[in-house]
């Protein structure tokens, strides 16, 4: 998956992204509601730079178009014509509308590539992410393993 928004480019991870990725992924306070954290550079490199695929789940880099610096990441996992979505923005770039901008781009990309439904799981304490999902048109449909599950039907 690769696409651009007004301020961002979403692309595969590159070696140069790892240090910035580790800076926010290993920030315990910032990542309190997220998984996939606290790993070594080698462990992140194996996961992010390997030959991942959407069926098993894949992370994509969100980079600032002007500077080409990593400012976040998007996770997608494909299950038939449905996808699971996850996202994280570097704390230095939070509250600037970037997660919404990129998520709208992801939804458009998925729709153009035949997806019919997108789901997301969020801890109930993560009110910022829940608010974003609702703004994007996701609706709550269940609770599972302590997470609230949301769905967005692409039409």
Which of 12-16, 88-92, 99-103, 148-152 is the least confident region? Answer: 88-92
Per-residue pLDDT of 20-72, as tens digits, reads 988 887 766 655 556 555 667 888 888 889 777 899 899 999 999 999 999 99
Q: Are 63 and 71 in contact (CB under 8 A)?
A: yes
The arithmetic mean of pLDDT across residues 72-83, rounded, is 94
The arithmetic mean of pLDDT across residues 121-144, rounded, is 96
Per-residue pLDDT of 2-23, as tens digits, reads 999 999 999 999 999 999 988 8
Q: Indicate if the pLDDT at residue 135 is higher than 70.
A: yes
Give the per-residue pLDDT at 131. Answer: 96
Give the per-residue pLDDT at 52. Answer: 78
Per-residue pLDDT of 112-125, as tens digits, reads 999 999 999 999 99
Report pTM.
0.90
Instruction: Return the closest-CA partner of residue 97 out of 1, 23, 7, 12.
Output: 7
Q: Which fold has domain 3-153?
A: Aminopeptidase (3.40.630)
Return the domain boundaries, the chain: 3-153
Give the per-residue pLDDT at 37. Answer: 57
């Amino acid at each position: 998956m690769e696409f651009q928004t007004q301020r961002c480019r979403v692309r595969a991870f590159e070696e140069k992204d790892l240090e910035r990725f580790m800076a926010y992924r290993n920030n315990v306070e910032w990542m309190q509601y997220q998984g996939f954290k606290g790993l070594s550079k080698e462990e992140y490199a194996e996961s992010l730079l390997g030959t991942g695929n959407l069926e098993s789940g894949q992370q994509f880099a969100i980079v600032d178009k002007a500077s080409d610096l990593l400012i976040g990441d998007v996770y997608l996992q494909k299950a038939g014509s449905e996808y699971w979505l996850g996202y994280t923005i570097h704390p230095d770039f939070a509250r600037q509308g970037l997660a919404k901008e990129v998520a709208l781009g992801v939804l458009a990309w998925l729709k153009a590539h035949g997806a019919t439904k997108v789901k997301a799981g969020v801890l109930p304490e993560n009110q910022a992410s829940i608010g974003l999902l609702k703004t994007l048109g996701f609706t709550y449909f269940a609770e599972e393993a302590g997470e609230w599950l949301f769905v967005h039907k692409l039409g």
